[in-house]
Amino acid sequence: MASHSPGTDQIDTLLWIGTVAAAILIVALVGALLFVVRRYRGERGAEPRQLRSGRRLQFRVAGVLTIFAALLFVLGVVFTEKAREQPSTGDAGLASLKGEPLKIKATGQQWLWRYDYPNGAFSYYKLVVPEDTAIELEVVSTDVVHTWNVEELARKADAVPGKTNEVLFIADEPGVYDGDSATLSGQAYAAMRTEVDVVSPKEYEEFVEKQGEEIDAAEERVVGLIENGETP
Amino acid sequence: MSPSPRPELVADGYSAGRPRWVQLATSADHKEIGQVLLTGALGFLFIALVELVLMRIQLLVPENTFLSPVAFNRMLSLYGASAIFFFALPLVFGLFYYVAPLQIGARGTALPRLGQVGLALWVAGATVLYATFLFTPSEAGVNPLAPLNEVAFLSNNGVDAWATATGLATLGFVLLSVNLVATLRTMRAPGMAWRRVPLFAWATAVGSWLMVVVGSVLLAALTMLMIDRHYDGIFFADGSGGAPLLWQHLSWIFYTGAYMLILIFAFGAIAEIAATFSRKPLFNRNVVMACLAAIAVIGTLAWMQNMLTAPIGIGWMYFAMLMSLALIVPFGLVLFNLIATLAGGTLRMRAPLLFAIGAIFAIGIGLASELCHSLVAAAWHLKNTTDSTAATHFALIGGAVFGGFAALHYWFPKMTGRTMGETLAKISFWTILAGLLLGFVPLFFAGAEQGQVVDAYKYFAGSGVTAYNVIASIGVFVLFAGVLLTILNAVFSRANGPAAGHDPWAGDTLEWFTLSPPEPHNFDVLPDVRSPRPLRDIRIAIGNRTRRSEQAAARESQPVA
């Protein structure tokens, strides 16, 4: 799946490193197994040499495995740290932030994602963010554990009640990115999807403003109805 | 009334004609308990696979409506509990319990009644789990994460029944483990120092210790869950001092430990089979023994590998990665030494060896794939995708199905006096292998490439995973057929298989010294144990004596002068 954020680029690189490492191990194992099975298939009764141990061989194998594991650990830390780096807003991004990331709250609830923007506006299902702008998503939950998962843009993050999980990302080009939830959260879990619309900063500002006005208007209408004794 | 003409020896109260089921239900004998566990495990393997097949039918086409979301979640929960608590672990403990005392030359176990209670608790757990069909099975998944498992979100009795069932079964395993630890500590035959203990008995000791530790952790977590659900507890509830993540820590410690336990069991069995069927001693015995113990400790310490997307500190994530990657060394050494044991041998490709090689293959692929899940940033992509389903299934089907079937074919003659049908075993092996590859390799791609999420009752047509899921479903059907063949093979061979004698494979360890099936007291006499291969020592001694007497006879028959 195509990556559209520097963080997911690093994730993809580490994924490749892991896949190659796994492939090396699998090829070595399967190769050795096939060789041994074909070469030493023997007749009943023949007595093979009773080899018990090879101490130096053992140290060598252990040494190679240790170096392999240590190398993977170092690569794992390096690329994880790179993936965690705070991205900085670029020239095409939202200028009004002055270098600060755009903070948006993502709330998982059975079975919808809600997004709260800095100006008080909110949206359900669809998250709208400006392109080339550092986003700090605070992933929280109001009920059970959910996992926010838009894999082209950012890492997976669990929304755990009572905890905040921070996700940093920056989208490199406008578009619509599909996402879903990755932890079983009850009956409608599979239908709990989301979508991130990456738009230009101008369109983003228009969106949150319009969204905020509409929410205010709706609230006023409901408050007005209640004050008049009607049911909204 | 005349007095008895002469004194008689009377075994008072002994009745020979007890029905078999009464005998099994009341026995504290380790062989009978082991057999009940093993039979039960094979039954639940069948049931678990039926549940898996139902889920795979639902996932055959996009947005299928074969199962409702609730029905799917129930199947998922039942499948998880059945596969782990009522198939894999009882299979492991059934074989531990049957074989290990025989291998160390014990005439029984140290605390037989404890094992009997353990079996009864496990049966009670299984009954509770499947009695839920009378009301409502759990809908909370394989590991029901808090707070979904709390009464606020799932108020019916499903989670209660799940917790009761798994709790009873786990308590049973812990009691069986305590008995095994005590037996292995105190009842080894004269001369059997720890360094001469057969590898499978060593795996039993390591695995039992592990279960005592991680089983207790799960029991604590389940107790806390029940207090939460019924007595206004707040252990796992957010807001009033509880922490949902606490459940994840406690439950993952158990699940990770159980995962390691299944692999330790498989390696123990494979080590015995590799040595016997290549007619060589296990290569670097001491290293393999040390590695199995290391796997138990380091592997369990890697439990947070399951929580790499949770809001925990990055330091903990690196700790989990360090432990997971450190496992490469002991796992690698065990696999290397198992293959080195086969190398240079004269391999007899009978069913046990075939399944053992299949186990090494599948476990190797599963563990290598898990490696990607331990690299923190890679896990941020792979976590909870079908890639993790595939990796776990490769490792655990490798350990419990291939490894378990290898052990079953190997020790079946000891348990019943008959060998399992060889042709059927080979057909079954290749069918299971084809099913495993077809059923789970596509899930690697669906998960890693397309990010298909786990546990979901449907997927959508445009998401690029339809072909993968169709192949995976067909693969699981094939897998089911293959497993069914072995179960049928076991059922038919029990009464009709070719008679095996006491030592059909020319084994080197003490269980092959006694009758098949063994008498209730296991051994009339025991040989002196002077090496890890006492039966081989006997064969060599007999061979030497025969040779000497033949030479003497030859000398005597030579003409004088």
Alpha helix (H) residue ranges in B327-421: 328-342, 351-374, 376-382, 386-396, 403-416
Which residue in this structure is represented by tokens 């690299």?
B375
Q: How far apart are CA B73 and CA A184, in angstroms?
A: 9
Residues of chain A neighbouring B286 (CB-CB closer than 8 A): 53
Domain count, chain A: 2
Which pLDDT score, from 0 to 100, does residue B14 have?
Answer: 58
| Cβ atoms of residues B365 and B394 within 8 Å | yes
d(CA B149, CA B165): 15
Asked whether residue A28 is domain-assigned, the answer is: yes
Say if the Cβ atoms of B238 and A162 lie within 8 Å.
Answer: yes
Q: What is the CATH number of the domain that holds A200?
A: 2.60.40.420
pLDDT at residue number A206: 94
**CA distance, residue B288 to nearest chain A CA (Å):** 11
Specify the pairing of strand A175-181 against strand A193-199.
antiparallel
* Domain shared by A75 and A125, yes or no: no
Q: Best residue in A19, A30, A150, A158 to probe B by mutation, most B CBs within 10 Å?
A: A158
Cβ atoms of A21 and B328 within 8 Å: the answer is no
Contact, B440 vs B475, CB < 8 A? yes
Contact check, Cβ <8 Å, A22/B372: yes
3-state secondary structure B120-142: HHHHHHHHHHHHHHHCCCCCCCC
Give the span between the Cα atoms of B480 and B547, in whole angstroms.
52
Strands A193-199 and A102-109: unpaired
Q: Are residues A128 and A198 in the same domain?
A: yes
Nearest to A22 by CA among B305, B332, B316: B332
Tell me the shortest Cα–Cα distance from B477 to chain A, in angstroms.
Answer: 24
For B378, which of A18, A61, A165 is closest by C-beta distance? A18
Is residue B239 helix, strand or coil? coil
Indicate whether A100 and A212 sit together in one domain: yes
Contacting residues of A for B244, CB less than 8 Å apart = 145, 160-163
Task: Check A21 against B371: CB less than 8 A apart.
Answer: yes
B376 and A188 within 8 Å at the Cβ level: the answer is no
Question: How many angstroms separate the CA atoms of B287 and B479, rounded?
Answer: 34
- Please say whether the beta carbons of B406 and B360 come within 8 A: no
Residue among B221, B205, B220, B215 nearest B175 (CA): B215
Chain B positions in Cβ-Cβ contact with residue A58 (cut-off 8 Å): 284, 287, 333, 337
Residue A188, SS3 per DSSP: coil
CA dist list (Å): B371 to A70, B283, B318, B322: 13, 26, 14, 11
A2 to chain B: nearest residue by CA? B449
Domains defined for chain B, CATH in brackets: 32-550 (1.20.210.10)
Could B153 and A144 be called an inter-chain contact, meaning their C-beta atoms sit closer than 8 Å? yes
d(CA A153, CA A156): 10
Contact A69 B457 (CB under 8 A): no
Distance from CA of B311 to the nearest CA of A (A): 5
Cα–Cα distance between B542 and B547 in angstroms, integer? 8
| B201: nearest Cα among B30, B50, B346 | B30
What would the mean pLDDT of B52-60 be, rounded to a whole number? 96
Q: How far is B217 from chain A (nearest CA, A)?
A: 22
Query: Which of A33, A51, A163 lies closest to B283 in CB terms?
Result: A51
* Domain assignment of residue A1, yes or no: no
Name residue, tokens 């393999």: B288
CB contact under 8 A, A42 and B347: yes
Q: Is residue A50 part of a domain?
A: no
DSSP classification of residue B514 = S
Using pLDDT thresholds of 50, 70 and 90, give the confidence band for residue B489.
Answer: very high
- Match 């992933």 to its residue by tokens: A139
Cβ within 8 Å, pair A30-B361: yes
Q: What is the mean pLDDT of residues B4-24?
A: 69
Identity of residue B372: C
**Is A72 inside a domain boundary?**
yes
Q: Choose from A160, A163, A176 for mutation: most chain B CBs within 10 A.
A: A160
A184 to B73: CB separation less than 8 angstroms, yes or no? yes
- One domain, residues A150 and A194: yes
**A174 and A101 share one domain:** yes
Q: Could you tell me if residue A157 is inside a domain? A: yes
Residues 6 or more apart from B22 whose CB is under 8 A from it?
none
Cα B555 from Cα B550, distance rounded (Å): 9
CA distance A99 to chain B (A): 25
Q: What percent of chain B has pLDDT over 70?
A: 97
User: Phi/psi at A79 (nearest 5 deg)?
Assistant: -75, -30
ipTM for the predicted complex comes to 0.94
Contact A8, A151 (CB under 8 A): yes
In what side-by-side order are the strands of the sheet with A157-159? A126-130, A193-199, A175-181, A146-149, A157-159
Mean pLDDT of B386-391: 96
With CB atoms and an 8 Å threshold, state whether A158 touches B311. Answer: yes
* Residue numbers of the domain that contains A27: 6-39+55-84
Spatial contact of B57 and B473, defined as CB atoms under 8 Å apart: yes
* Residue A68: inside a domain: yes
Radius of gyration of chain B (CA): 25
Mean pLDDT of chain B: 94
Helices (H), chain A: 6-39, 55-84, 201-227
Q: B357 and B409 in contact (C-beta within 8 Å)?
A: no
- In this structure, the answer to whether residues A104 and A209 fall within a common structural domain is yes
Count contacts between A and B (CB, < 8 Å). 258
Inside any domain, residue A210: yes
Chain A residues inside the 8 Å CB shell of B314: 80, 84
Beta-strand relationship, A146-149 and A112-116:
unpaired
Most B CBs within 10 Å: which of A10, A38, A80, as the mutation test of the B interface? A80
Tell me, yes or no, whether A74 and A179 share the same domain: no
Strand A165-170's sheet: what is its strand order? A122-124, A112-116, A102-109, A134-141, A165-170
- pLDDT category at B105 given cuts 50, 70, 90 is very high
Per-residue pLDDT tens, chain A, 232 aa: give them: 688 898 999 999 999 999 999 999 999 999 999 999 999 888 666 788 888 888 899 999 999 999 999 999 999 999 999 999 888 888 888 888 777 899 999 999 999 999 999 999 999 999 999 999 999 999 999 999 999 999 999 999 999 999 999 999 999 999 999 999 999 999 999 999 999 999 999 999 999 999 999 999 999 999 999 988 887 7
For residues A21 and A76, membership in a common domain is answered with: yes
How far does the CA of residue A149 sit from the closest CA of chain B (Å)? 9
Would you state the pLDDT for residue A90?
A: 84
* A76 and A117, same domain (yes or no): no
A79 and A105 share a domain? no
Above 70 in pLDDT, residue B9?
Answer: no
Give domain status of residue A49, yes or no: no
pLDDT in tens, B371-387: 999 999 999 999 999 99
Same domain, A134 and A62: no
Closest-CA residue in chain B for A32? Answer: B339
Å between A166 CA and nearest CA of chain B: 8
CB B404 within 8 A of CB B91: yes
> Of A165, A185, A208, A198, which is closest to residue A112 (Cα–Cα)?
A185
* pLDDT value, residue B478: 97
Residues A205 and A126 in one domain: yes
C-beta neighbour count of A173 within 10 angstroms: 9
Please check whether residue A153 is in contact with residue B229, taking contact to mean a CB–CB distance below 8 angstroms: no
Q: How confident is the model at residue B6 (pLDDT cuts 50, 70, 90)?
A: low
Task: Please count the other Cβ atoms lying within 10 Å of the Cβ belonging to residue B110.
Answer: 18
CA B479 to chain centre: 18
List CB contacts (< 8 A) between B143 and chain A.
Answer: none
